[in-house]
Amino acid sequence: MDLLKINISELANAIKNKKISSVEATEFFLKRINTHDKKLNSFISINDKAVEQAKLIDDKISKGENLGSMAGVPISIKDMLCTKNLKTTAGSKMLSNFIPPYDSTVVARLKQAGAVILGKTNLDEFAMGSSNETSFYGPVKNPWNTAYVAGGSSGGSASAQAARFGMGTIGTDTGGSIRQPASFCGVVGLKPTYGRVSRYGIVAYASSLDQAGPITNSVADAALMLEVISGHDQNDGTTSQRSVPNFSHLLNACDSKNLQSLKNLKIGVIKEYMKGGGLCEDTNATFNAALDAAKKLGAEIVEVSIDMSEHAVPMYYLIAASEASSNLARYDGVRFGHRASFENLSGIELDKFYSRNRGEGFGSEVQRRIMIGTYALSSGYYDAYYNKACQVRRLLTNQFINAFKQCDVIASPVTATPAFKIGERISDPLKMYLNDIFTTSTNLAGLPGMSVPFGLSKDKLPIGVQLTAGHFAEEKMLKVASALEANTTVTGVLPHDFN
Ligand code: GLN
């Protein structure tokens, strides 16, 4: 059995039918990580109990116990989600020795479904970044070309998944952090509707925008993992009470060989995205090829206008930084986080004590966000900046709601260019922020979004296409994604050094 080619449900079935054990599958991936991750730096920690946990699953299967849909399937988790007894750093020195006493709901649900956790993946510090270069644990490299970034902030997850260091992984997306690295690394990445997935136990960055979601090698795998992690959670009051559709089942209903009919489906293209985004030639060509493929399958392409999306980046960076400045206040070296070494605490003034703890514990990008956020929330500026951004956010959301009266799914590029070189943009924060031009609107409006691999650049770097649907309409997005997946030559292609 080729573990690099099969999907999650095939492996779960093979384990259930004892064609392979969970221990064998787990050892296979641990060995792969051990041999190849030096080149990528995609993991921060490995779960040294993984094989033991796989053995427990195998034992239960031997006893004939009926386990969940991911029984015995090895996966990784972004180091932003709390894992019981397994270090969770958020990519920061601040939390470099934090061992959570509990699992985040997402992790608990994956374990409940039988998944085995291989380890925790690298990320931008506190998920702030678009290139995975702000991590305290060093930059993550792109498996397609290690001189290039993997994207951020879930760069470790996307890089690990592209290199097949597991069957799937979980990322978080506040302004594009699942979709953008997925696009850069040639894997599928899905950000659910806000409220679909519990944020309980996920290190908070910007609470009104954060969502966790799967990064996988196929659309079917993303659907399956989404199903496992979704649903109401009494520990997160912002989760929806809606029942969770059987996403993977819905997908099976439209067989890929059948040239999935996208008939009666309208795909919207945002007029404003196409005029101002500065798309590079390769990205533009990939995007047009995806639209052509959808048209051939019967979809109708319609133009929609969302002019508020032109303000998405400033709106996002005000709101995200404001919420971050509040969320990160807890890391003061007393309640949580790094404590600087003081020879004698008794003579230290309180503000010096905090500023040393926080100055040492946080990296420069995180400090920048805290400063911007604190400023935007301060009295006198609150109405001009934070409040104004929230008002414009409402207008943007309304425009999306209207647009989805004219179309079922919106397609767009994920980023203006494929992955860029490590070091190329990190010294210019504004340039880096502009990278998020196509992804942040989705979070601001609370919509689901995903990236599906659809092309390769001339330099052989992957390029994804972004799909967005109305609130809680993930199944529409998955349907188009799986049709695109079935109609491109890049599906299932591995980076050459990781074959
Ligand atoms: N690049 C964006 C930021 O730095 C998005 C990050 C994310 O989605 N976590 O805030």
Q: What is the pLDDT of residue 265?
A: 96
365 lines ligand 1 (CB under 6 A): no
Work out the average pLDDT over 321-337.
97
How far from the centroid of its chain's Cα atoms is residue 225's Cα? 13
Residue whose C-alpha is closest to residue 417's, from 163, 172, 162, 183: 183
In ligand 1, the atom with minimum distance to the C-alpha of 320 is: 10
Q: What are the residues facing 453 on neighbouring strands?
A: 464
Which of 10-14, 154-158, 259-263, 377-381 is predicted least confidently? 259-263
Which residue of 80, 124, 425 sits with most ligand 1 atoms within 8 Å of its CB, as the best mutation to test the pocket? 124
Q: What is the pLDDT of residue 66?
A: 86
CA–CA separation, 201 vs 198, rounded Å? Answer: 9
Q: What is the pLDDT of residue 253?
A: 57
Work out the average pLDDT over 341-368.
94
Amino acid letter, 130: S
127 lines ligand 1 (CB under 6 A): yes
Q: What is the pLDDT of residue 202?
A: 98
- The pLDDT of residue 481 is above 90: yes
Q: What positions carry a catalytic annotation? A: 78, 153, 177
Confidence of residue 276 (pLDDT cuts 50, 70, 90): low
Q: Is the dihedral of CA 11, 13, 16, 17 positive or negative?
A: negative
Q: What percent of the chain has pLDDT over 90?
A: 93
Structure tokens belonging to residue 219: 């659309």
443 lines ligand 1 (CB under 6 A): no
How far from the centroid of its chain's Cα atoms is residue 244's Cα? 20
Which residue of 202, 211, 436, 438 sits with most ligand 1 atoms within 8 Å of its CB, as the best mutation to test the pocket? 436
**Residue nearest atom 10 of ligand 1, based on CA coordinates:** 128
Work out the average pLDDT over 353-372.
98
Q: pLDDT tens, 249-273?
A: 877 655 545 555 799 999 999 999 9
Q: What is the pLDDT of residue 499?
A: 82
Per-residue b or e along 340-377, where b marks 16 or more CB atoms closer than 10 Å to that residue's CB: beeeeeeeeeeeebbebbbeebbbebbeebbebbbbbb
From residue 303, how far is each of 439, 445, 446 by CA, in Å?
A: 18, 19, 21
Ligand 1 centroid distance, CA of 343 (Å): 37
CA–CA separation, 33 vs 118, rounded Å? Answer: 9
Q: What is the pLDDT of residue 277?
A: 56
Domains along the chain with CATH numbers: 8-260+414-425+442-498 (3.90.1300.10)
CA dihedral in degrees (287, 498, 91, 436; nearest 10)?
-10
CA–CA separation, 388 vs 397, rounded Å? Answer: 14
- The pLDDT of residue 375 is above 90: yes
- Give the chain as a 3 state SS string: CCCCCCCHHHHHHHHHCCCCCHHHHHHHHHHHHHHHHHHCCCEEEECCCHHHHHHHHHHHHHCCCCCCCCCCCEEEEECCECECCECCCCCCCCCCCCCCCCCCHHHHHHHHCCCEEEEEECCCHHHCCCCCCCCCCCCCEECCEEEEECCCCCHHHHHHHHCCCCCCEEEEECCCCCHHHHHHHCCEEEECCCCCECCCCECCCCCCCCEEEEEECCHHHHHHHHHHHECCECCECCCCCCCCCCHHHHHHCCCHHHCCCCCCCEEEEEHHHHHHCCCCHHHHHHHHHHHHHHHHCCCEEEEECCHHHHHHHHHHHHHHHHHHHHHHHHECCCCECCCCCCCCHHHCCHHHHHHHHHHHHCCHHHHHHHHHHHHHHCCCCCHHHHHHHHHHHHHHHHHHHHHHHHCCEEEEECCCCCCCECCCCCCCHHHHHHCCCCCHHHHHCCCCEEEEEEEECCCCCEEEEEEEECCCCHHHHHHHHHHHHCCCCCCCCCCHHHC
Q: What is the pLDDT of residue 163?
A: 98
- The pLDDT of residue 222 is above 70: yes
130 lines ligand 1 (CB under 6 A): yes
Residue whose C-alpha is closest to residue 434's, from 243, 180, 80: 180
Asked if residue 131 lies in contact with residue 91, where contact means CB atoms within 8 angstroms, the answer is no
Confidence of residue 450 (pLDDT cuts 50, 70, 90): very high
Confidence of residue 275 (pLDDT cuts 50, 70, 90): confident
Residue whose C-alpha is closest to residue 26's, from 55, 63, 67, 4: 55
In ligand 1, the atom with minimum distance to the C-alpha of 432 is: 1
Q: Is the dihedral of CA 70, 73, 78, 84 positive or negative?
A: positive
129 lines ligand 1 (CB under 6 A): yes
Q: What is the pLDDT of residue 494?
A: 93
Q: What is the pLDDT of residue 258?
A: 53
Q: pLDDT tens, 1-48?
A: 999 999 999 999 999 999 999 999 999 999 999 999 999 999 999 999
Average pLDDT, the chain: 96
233 lines ligand 1 (CB under 6 A): no
Which residue of 149, 153, 434 sits with most ligand 1 atoms within 8 Å of its CB, as the best mutation to test the pocket? 153
Q: What is the pLDDT of residue 278?
A: 83
